[in-house]
Structure 1
Amino acid sequence: MQIFSAAEVHQQLNFPLLIANLKQAFANSVDLPRRQVYPLQQGKPDAFALLPAWDNQGIAVKAFTYMPDNPKKDPALASLYSQILLFDRHTGQPQALIDGTSVTYWRTAAVSALAASFLARQDAKRLLLLGTGNLAPFMALAHASVRPLTEIRIWGRRPEAVAEVIRNVARERPDLHLSPASDLAEEVPQADIISCATGAHEPLFNGEWVSPGSHCDLVGNHHKGGRECDSQLVLNSSVYVDSRTNVLHEAGELLIPMAEGLINESHVLGELADLCRGTSIGRKHPQERTLFKSVGSALADLAAARTVFNGTGN
């Protein structure tokens, strides 16, 4: 069994290859049980989760711990640790143990970019990225790999964190014009793609600010009572998700407007798999507002882990 560190994952992956492999994986039929998240202590957010998936080639299970107070205890500690086990589907033999945290950054961003390849306008040039965490540079680079972006505006609450994201993205894509964003009331209406990867539990902006023709991508919230966008944006948009089962179980972006009686489950027009198979059309006209909500899929973990494993010649 091979072991892949985070550095080796970063070395093996690139967005054009990963997005192509994800598209193929989502177009195929797979067995995908709902992921299981186990609270570790009553009244605390600490959790342990398992995400299994398998297809006719492989089996993968990602296990991760989430302990958000870790950095407060020790700056050297991360809030999330993750590993992926990859097995051969036909023999059951373990093939690889792969750093799951790095894979999660890559596959989360690649899934959003894959969705944007169906939902964002072909001529989208301006990306507004909200969030400055570890995922942020991956989101910017992934979207820039599927649309002809020329400008990326980055918003965050700490200017030094915004500057760090700009440096990281510029290192990979010096051709892009990268700059901080400040007033979202001005920034949101000008964006062709709005990508939210924050820890926010309250809407980040007024949904009425989003211009016709824009695409919104929401990946940061995984809580029933939290959301990165308001109900109005959901109501005004054609909505797609990575997984109906998971999103309608844990994403406040949809569960809250459903509780308000504004929408029902039929407001979700399709899953990413439907877009990849061609059973959902995706964007239908240039003025359509589209929205993609992702909470993470074990299928994406499986496809990304297999991309890492196969990249070594296996």
Structure 2
Amino acid sequence: MSTKEFTRAPNHFDARITADGSSPWPVEPGRYRLIVSRACPWASRALVVRRLLGLEHAISVGVADPIQDERSWRFTLDPDGRDPVLGISYLHEAYHAADPAYAGGISVPAIVDIPSGRLVTNDYPTITTDLSTQWRACHRPGAPDLYPEHLREEIDEVNRRVFRDVNNGVYRAGFAGDQEAYADAYHRLFACLDGLSERLEGRRYLVGDTITEADIRLFTTLVRFDAVYHGHFKCNKRKLTEMPVLWAYARDLYQTPGFHDTVDFDHIKRHYYMVHTDINPTRIVPEGPDLTGWLTPHGREALGGRPFGDGTPPGPPPPGEAAPTIEELTAAGR
């Protein structure tokens, strides 16, 4: 193994918000605020889960500017440059309210306790599974079961492989410190994608016949693949559009309510190409790729499956929460 391999830092704040009183943080509608960047794949998981489960009324959301400065995530998209609920200009203020001595990275997603202004958790794997399990009493009528108990062992196993070689694999390639580390990540990434293509060739979803946590975790990497990972992170063996099974699978999910209305290709592109100046020192943002292919028929209904199981699709997102559509971005030249 190369000594210059990219290693993701562990999440320092891993408190749980629980329904049974087993943690200091109880499930309480209206008490917490989910802070995200629409550019970030880890945060996008939480946005999709929140939408599918109908938790918008229970957990508010704040969206950070996709362009960070030296103090990291900032709220310059909001009036006066402050989050309107928390009253802070930078997410690090919530981190330091929880631990004044904290000197690590500032990451999203982050759940903040509104009354105290303290960060509760930035543990992205647990955030989404807890939204499915601990917040069940707050789910909308007809919410799908994204983490069904009888499939959890299989979902967790798929998630481990997808995280190692795909979700984190693209970062291991993009931030590799030498050729050996990059080549290892590159080959493991495409070997895993090939295996996922084989798995999905005859089934609509990764585990079972409904959308689960596993599909959401894979989707947030796939939707960014051609826009940023293929070129920016040198994951250029094939584009997503050149992998027929995964391309159809990703379009199927994108066109499902609760997915496309959380995806902001403008934020995604501007963040990666403008923030990672060690990789892209000119900060030039590519004009492409052509996004309209995401709206074309995918044909995967023929495989059967029930996207929401016995549940129903989510309704429209709350006012002001929907990401810009592909039609809007295309019209604006983005």
* TM bucket normalised to smaller: 0.3 to 0.5
Of Structure 1 and Structure 2, the greater strand share is in: 1
Q: TM-score, normalised by structure 1?
A: 0.37
Q: TM-score, normalised by structure 2?
A: 0.35
Of Structure 1 and Structure 2, the greater helix share is in: 2
